[in-house]
Structure 1
């Protein structure tokens, strides 16, 4: 039984659940304290050790049903050569993307039929080209299968990214446009026997530094990992990128992100962060950043990417003061919130209402398409006073909600 439980935990890990070797020991210990013949008790014992987030329940339920439904199945899993299993679904129903990770963990991909004719094979190949790629662009990271996540990571690594720019103090020669350069004009006159030939110059553009402050709490786990992939791709370009992670504490991972291999960089980041998939203390993390790092990394017109869902659990912090200080210290503050993937999202939580008035852009970050939109935004000219066009509508909605809450007796 202990070996079967270890195999089951490995299947859950392959399906995308963030559990380690300690979960195997916990499951074995929990199974010894219950009636092993009671399926309900056995289910809840394993669930209490393996499910870290509410989103894991659907994957766990499906894996539990498929793994433990046939006692003879255990004998065939000694070396993890899992058989192909199929789930009974309605013919007209649409398959839940969450459950595809379980199928892949069990190795349920059907073998190609050698009797298929050549014409049918060509049709299948053609259907998986442009349409599958377009669908992947808009698929939520939380709904992606393991293979789709790997494909999305490769797409992020291949993106052509550009840094936002700012005017420099230096000037470069211009052909005909720009301001008149008296120094270059005098030099040209000296070479042309005193003939006054005007020379023009234009101001150079320099890349702005980018500072990434990413929430790695349990509710942000899948999104933070994909955004770290994006931050790594930015770091490999010519420019300055500083990366910070926070859950219950702030961690500087800039040095780890400089590794050219994205997988090695993320492994180094995981090893250096102690509060991954834990709680969320936004105000304390911003206070630590403002006190210890803001003067070091927010010079030269830096752009800050704040990646969080805004669900602050820090009761003793002053989130309003810290986010206002951060906004005043940087050139632009862009808030990336995966909750914007929901069409009915409204700024009703206290953390969202506190942060929203102090940002220059409020954007979703849940798919490849949203990351491409972020990349396009960073290439725009962020002149003084710049703000996202969609921000005004969020401010109007926030004002209406606060008025409703005030009339109803406070924030619910």
Structure 2
């Protein structure tokens, strides 16, 4: 293992390490923390984790997380304890050359019950689950906080949670066929095999429809009224791009339609957000959803991008233009898309009613109406996209299935 170690004795990834010894010391302290919490992270499992890190990037928290989870946990009950200990023990990551510094983790102030310096052994001490439970509770509370009222440190932690979301989409049946153990008889392959074997029938070949991820299109409102939420929604779009880069398209809408797919292909969220911000010419401007949706359908949607796709519109519905035009284009989109999802951050507010002109015009053509105001709400949006929890249509239940996309 090279000298890009994990960090100092408390697992602080923001401080550079001097060699492999730092990594081993850090991992030893982490294993002791796990043992104090009741996880049987013995020496053999610790050696397995260190060996796994030899083949991974020790500067990537996700690599370290999964290396430890797959080697140090032996029972399903260990998983929640492992998550709590990992959140409490590690406070960040060392920035790579050319990479912006990572967000500060909000739980860094929590006292860790053991250290990695080896000054005391806590295997015989009582578990300190209360410390880790308090840490997990703080993160859980933050998951439900409205992103418009967060402090910079809290926003950085929420951004980290959003970056970990899995927004992979559901699978759809393709028209193309592929060899399969069962299904439709593949006569051509069967006959060819028969001829190669001198006329002896030894096997019947079959084929079935290939399944491929369904396309996802995200239209994110970046107008002035959506300024407190636009950054979080674009970060969610970046997470969706990572989950399905080849089947995901992202646009910003306001007074202009801007395609952000190439800008959000950056693997590092902060670099992707910087590129997207530079590409958006109408940030915090007005809102002309009807005109921008018409432009999207004329240039991209009607030609195939929206056909059979899951289209997500993230907006508060404050339409400055013609609400009637928005209603017409939503009906057009409804006929093309497989599913239309609208994420309105104001939906979570007590007593909210969709009374704005844009929402009134759009609601009859929406399949799922969700909030997008917090990390937990964005996780719910990811579930809707992935069809993990399928809902019945919120509005517009009379859709003619023959008019829906494949």
**TM-score with structure 1 length normalisation?**
0.59
Question: Is residue 298–residue 329 contact of structure 1 (8 Å, CA) maintained in 2?
Answer: no
Q: Which residue of 2 aligns with 1:236?
A: 242
The answer to whether the aligner puts 1:186 opposite 2:191 as a matched pair is yes
Distance 1:306 1:262 in 2: 21
Distance 1:180 1:365 in 2: 47
Q: Which residue of 2 aligns with 1:256?
A: 263
Cα displacement (A) at 1:357: 0.7
Cα displacement (A) at 1:255: 2.0
Query: Any residues of structure 2 matched to 1:193-232 within 5 Å, and which?
Result: 193=198, 194-195=200-201, 197-232=203-238
Aligned-partner SS, 2:142: helix
Query: Any residues of structure 2 matched to 1:306-385 within 5 Å, and which?
Result: 306-315=313-322, 318-380=325-387
Cα displacement (A) at 1:341: 0.6
Question: Is residue 288–residue 321 contact of structure 2 (8 Å, CA) maintained in 1?
Answer: yes
Change (3 A) 1:378 1:189: farther
Q: Which residue of 1 aligns with 2:23?
A: none
Question: Is residue 208–residue 300 contact of structure 1 (8 Å, CA) maintained in 2?
Answer: no
Q: Which residue of 2 aligns with 1:269?
A: 276
Distance 1:288 1:218 in 2: 21
Distance 1:343 1:184 in 2: 62
Q: Write the deviation string for residues 96-124 of structure 1: whole angstroms up to 9, x where unpaired.
A: xxxxxxxxxxxxxxx999xxxx99xx798
Change (3 A) 1:351 1:370: same
Aligned-partner SS, 2:272: helix
Aligned-partner SS, 2:178: strand
Distance 2:133 2:323 in 1: 55
Cα displacement (A) at 1:285: 1.5
Change (3 A) 1:145 1:364: same
Q: Write the deviation string for residues 39-63 of structure 1: whole angstroms up to 9, x where unpaired.
A: xxxxxxxxxxxxxxxxxxxxxxxxx
Query: Any residues of structure 2 matched to 1:38-187 within 5 Å, and which?
Result: 125-175=131-181, 177-187=182-192
Distance 2:203 2:280 in 1: 61
Cα displacement (A) at 1:215: 0.6
Give structure 1 stretches of 5+ with no counterpart: 1-110, 397-412
Change (3 A) 1:275 1:132: same
Give structure 2 stretches of 5+ with no counterpart: 1-108, 112-119, 399-406
**TM-score with structure 2 length normalisation?**
0.60
Distance 1:240 1:314 in 2: 31
Structure 1 segments of 4 or more deviating over 6 A?
none
Question: Is residue 224–residue 285 contact of structure 2 (8 Å, CA) maintained in 1?
Answer: yes
Q: Which residue of 1 aligns with 2:392?
A: 389
Distance 1:180 1:282 in 2: 49
Q: What is the Cα-based RMSD across aligned positions, in Å?
A: 3.2
Change (3 A) 1:375 1:277: same
Question: Is residue 211–residue 297 contact of structure 1 (8 Å, CA) maintained in 2?
Answer: no
